[in-house]
Structure 1
Amino acid sequence: MIQQIYPAPFHNFSYELNKDFHFAAAHYIPHDAAGKCQQVHGHTYFANVTIAGDQLDDSGFLVNFKTIKELLHDRFDHGVLNDDKHFTNEDSNFFPTTEIVARVMCEIIQEYLDTTSNKPACLQVFLRETPTSYVVYRPKKERTSS
């Protein structure tokens, strides 16, 4: 993967973890305004997930990098995003646009983090769809660790 500088979210946590990965996936946007993107097509997405917290878990991790890969890469790689339960063809708030895919990735990660003893927060998902187009998603309310 190419080294890249990502926009950094402001936070006061002691630890910040960033995980880069890429995945290949197809999708389509079921809306007239999507133009050619209404047709099934694919991308090699590049993602960066930023997680932060003040406490490490019993193994000394904020969160294991492997877990992030299992939650996101293994779920979306070589699939059709429209087929995932988080997306729909009926509600534009759940079309698999880059914006919504980034939001869903953050929600999937946060749902997992909420089950951990150290309760870190997913602060940001950077998702590049093409070499010239990307989205940064940050949850509106910054969480604090317990």
Structure 2
Amino acid sequence: MFSLTVRRHFMIAHSLPREVFGPARALHGATFVAEVTFRRRTLNDDAIVLDIGAAGGIIEEVLAGLNYRNLDEHADFTGKLSTTEALAQYIAEAVAVELRDDNDGRELSGVDVTLRENPDAWASYALDLARG
């Protein structure tokens, strides 16, 4: 299995209104480093997983809808908790949608997203892409 990882950062505001989240129940900001890994069983004809520039463009497009936004007011998070884990899943699924129209993207076997809140804490989500 081959992989390519590209990372970008983005900033959001949100609240996590449940007791378990302690002080994060209140509205607060977070800066994330998003690491998106594209997985492929075999390299393409150009001996790559995916063009790095194209991968970065896909990530930037997905993150543009989140960056500098209050997720408490974001339509896609209405009635949902915007935890780091939930955000990782959201980003992976949005990247997968973008890949459907890309020739190389259709050959990928998976997308993994790791969101780093700081150097000591992160969460990940792995999405297998069923291609048929």
SS in 1 for 2:77: coil
Matched, 1:124 2:112: yes
Task: Give the letter aligned to residue 69 of structure 2.
Answer: G
Kindly report which structure 2 residues correspond to 1:66-81, keeping only aligned pairs within 5 A, or say none: 66-72=57-63, 74-81=64-71
Q: Do the aligned partners of 1:109 and 1:122 also contact (CA within 8 Å) in 2? A: no
Shift of residue 121, structure 1, vs aligned partner: 4.2
- CA 1:70 to 1:126, structure 2 compared with 1: closer, same or farther past 3 Å? same
Please tell me the residue identity of whatever aligns with 2:123.
Answer: V
Please report how far the alpha carbon of residue 16 of structure 1 lies from its aligned counterpart in structure 2 after TM superposition: 2.2
**Aligned residue number for residue 83 of structure 2:** 97
Bigger helix fraction: 2
Q: TM-score, normalised by structure 1?
A: 0.72
Task: Give the conservation status (yes or no) of the 8 Å contact 2:39–2:49.
Answer: no
More strand by share: 2
Q: Which runs of 5+ in 2 are unaligned?
A: none
SS at match of 1:135: strand
Q: Report the aligned-residue RMSD.
A: 2.5
Q: Describe how 1:17-56 pairs up with structure 2 within 5 A.
A: 17-53=4-40, 54=42, 56=44
Are the equivalent residues in 1 in contact too, given 2:58–2:95 (CA < 8 A)? no
Counterpart CA distance in 2 for 1:144 and 1:108 is 15
Q: TM-score, normalised by structure 2?
A: 0.79
- Give the SS at the match of 2:112: strand
Matched pairs, number: 125
